Amino acid sequence: MKIAALQMVSTGDLEQNLLQARGLLEQAAQQGAELVVLPEYFCLIGHRDADKLTIQEAFGSGPIQTFLADTARALGLWVVGGTLPLAASSPERVYNSALVFNPEGACVARYDKMHLFRYDNGVESYDESRVLDPGTHPTRFALPSRDGHVWQVGLSVCYDLRFAELYRGYAREGVDLLLVPSAFTHTTGQAHWEVLLRARAIENLAYVAAAAQGGEHPNGRRTWGQSMVIDPWGLILAQRAQGAGVVCADLDPHTLAKCRAQLPALQHRLL
């Protein structure tokens, strides 16, 4: 199965971001991708945390969800819209949600980001809990691909990457592809992005696809980028350093089975 991780440099203009996303989705479809993953906050990176509140949608309706459904249907793709703000406990709070649309345009899975990022080094300061409510449970879905394999896919978002127990839980449930739409800061990405992604692939003997924001945003924020696809042995199959673009790679169920047979670490778990 060919998968595409889309890298974007989103702005504070929703329509501009959707136009950029549509162009990248079309490129991925032209390259033969079946599953395409958009990055965290593909629809908006505003000047303030509260800007995302102005575009929040109720689950099941709204222009961003309509865009994702219509594009998936028009291009015949599985599309992971990771992420958009969905209504939460009050108008002043939202969930940071990844939605999965099948090629018929139906939403088949929803994951609300469980771990909320907080970081302060005296120069940069972030605290997602100011406007986000955390999700409460992992989400996985089944994707029957053209190669005849049914891929079990686990969803996560950005900061979740630091919590190995989430991915180990997916491994226990038989997941063989882990998705990580992200907007890592340049500081934390430079230090930890690649090593964490490769570790999640290696320890769970699973494919990993990470679609990232990558560049200088109009609000002054700088994101790390390096969107990539990694195989179950930890080999980077494809990646892109910075700037908007499409990162494509082929996932092979035989490679997955071979790695798990040669090194049956998942069968040796004690916990």
258 is catalytic: no
Active-site annotation holds for 40: yes
Find out whether 13 and 20 touch, Cβ atoms under 8 Å. no
Average pLDDT of every residue of the chain: 97
The CATH number of whichever domain residue 155 belongs to comes to 3.60.110.10
Instruction: Give the number of other Cβ atoms within 10 Å of residue 212's Cβ.
Output: 31
Q: What's the pLDDT score for residue 105?
A: 98
How many Cα neighbours within 13 Å face the side chain of 68? Answer: 28
Does some domain include residue 86? Answer: yes
Q: Indicate if the alpha-carbon torsion angle 167, 170, 174, 180 is positive or negative.
A: negative
pLDDT tens digits, residue range 160-178? 999 999 999 999 999 999 9
Give mean pLDDT, residues 8-37: 98
Torsion, CA 266, CA 39, CA 75, CA 14, rounded to 10 = 160
End-to-end CA distance of the chain: 32
- Give yes or no: 158 in active site: yes
pTM: 0.97
Q: Strand pairing partners for 98?
A: 82, 111
Q: Which strand ranges, in their side-by-side order, compose the sheet holding 94-101? A: 107-112, 94-101, 78-87, 35-37, 2-7, 245-250
Residue 197 lies inside a defined structural domain of this protein: yes
Q: What is the pLDDT of residues 252-269, one digit of tens each?
A: 999 999 999 999 999 999
Q: Considering 2, 34, 40, 43, which one is annotated as catalytic?
A: 40
The pLDDT assigned to 71 comes to 98
Contact by Cβ (8 Å): 184, 157: no
Axis-axis angle for helices 14-30, 63-75 (nearest 10) = 20
Split at pLDDT 50, 70, 90, the class of 209 is very high
Whether residue 75 lies inside any domain: the answer is yes
Catalytic residue among 2, 34, 43, 158: 158
pLDDT at 153 over 90: yes
pLDDT value, residue 270: 87
Question: pLDDT at position 6, please?
Answer: 98
Number of domains in the chain: 1
In a domain, 161, yes or no: yes
68 within domain boundaries: yes
- Structural domain of 84: 2-116+131-268
Query: Has residue 69 been placed in a domain?
Result: yes
**Does 126 map to a domain?**
no
pLDDT of residue 48: 87
Alpha carbon 6 to its chain centroid, in Å, reads 9
- One of 113, 128, 248, 259 is an active-site residue; which one? 113
- What is the pLDDT confidence band of residue 49, given thresholds at 50, 70 and 90? confident
| Range 26-41 average pLDDT | 98
Is it the case that residue 93 has pLDDT exceeding 90?
yes
